[in-house]
Homo-oligomer: A and B are copies of this chain.
Amino acid sequence: MTETISWIAVDWGTSNLRSWGIDAGGEVVSTASSDQGMGKLAREQFPAALQAVLAQLAPPSTVTDIVVCGMAGARQGWLEAPYLDAPTDLSDLGRGAVHPEVPGTEFRVSILPGVCQREGGENVMRGEETQLLGLASVTPGYEGLVCMPGTHSKWAQLEGTRITTFSTAMTGEMFELLKTHSVLRHSLVGELEGPERETGFQAGARAGLDHPEALLGQLFRVRASALLSGRTPDWCAGFLSGLLIGTEIAANRSQIGTDPVPLIGSAGLCALYARVLAMAGATGRVVDSTEVVLAGLKAARASIA
């Protein structure tokens, strides 16, 4: 069915590249991915990395229209796509696209811009803006907070296709840093997915929700609990995870209304966030992240000049 592909959608992040062949009716007819994320590539290696994935999607001669979101447009990526300044209407996202050349091909590659915020706390995103545009496409008229859990969680205020403000919490990266490099690592050696993980997670989430201002102090409880109460590695891992997510959600609690908060991210992480939102008296609604990135790439393609 590859002959029916009319354009190719690409989500090119720091760690991975995902791509989809889309037919004229907007349906996905093939997919391919690789581990050639922006973080592994020098500038001149991007064209070959793209071609290697596209060769799995479609005969190279048939499709030339390629729309890319994510870190490929960063300053240290393939070709910089300057940020749009928030507040901004994401329905114009395609107008900010840049077009790197792929030597020896007829490809028209469009890399979408990210969004930055200069007032009220400097911030940047690349990739999430396309998911937000997609969310606005699949749930038209949604107004309110959106939570995108991950290595660097984003929290954005959306008014239809318009993004007004956003922030970034280094929650996922912090978990990995503390687990791998800090003194807490001594309490996190062994089976981390055992039966005590759940109890630890709830205790940590409660502690983070109740005292988000005390994170630097509460972290050390992982170590002290292991030393004094013989807490197991699975309990400690759960506590650390819950503490970080609880602290993150508490910091954003005042912005959360009564509508369910859309959660865009990996299924496992979104489920954890939904549980902690419930503990905070709020509600989360898990959104299919592939669906919204595809909807966003499609919507952005319509505005590419």
Contacts and interface: CB of A to CB of B under 8 A. Distances in A.
Copies of this chain, count: 2
A84 interface: no
A278 interface: no
A52 interface: no
A167 B217 contact: yes
The CB with the most chain B CB atoms within 10 A, among A116, A117, A152, A173, is that of: A173
A228 B247 CA distance: 27
B213 A250 contact: yes
A122 B170 contact: no
B168 A182 contact: no
Contacts of A228: 83, 116, 118, 122, 124
A170 to B, nearest CB: 5
Interface residues of A, number: 46
Given A152-B183, A177-B181, A169 B124 contact: no
A219 interface: yes
A174 B218 CA distance: 13
Given A177-B182, A228-B116, A169 B122 contact: no
Given A116-B228, A178-B177, A171 B124 contact: no
A220 B170 contact: yes
A220 B181 contact: no
A225 B250 CA distance: 24
A121 interface: yes
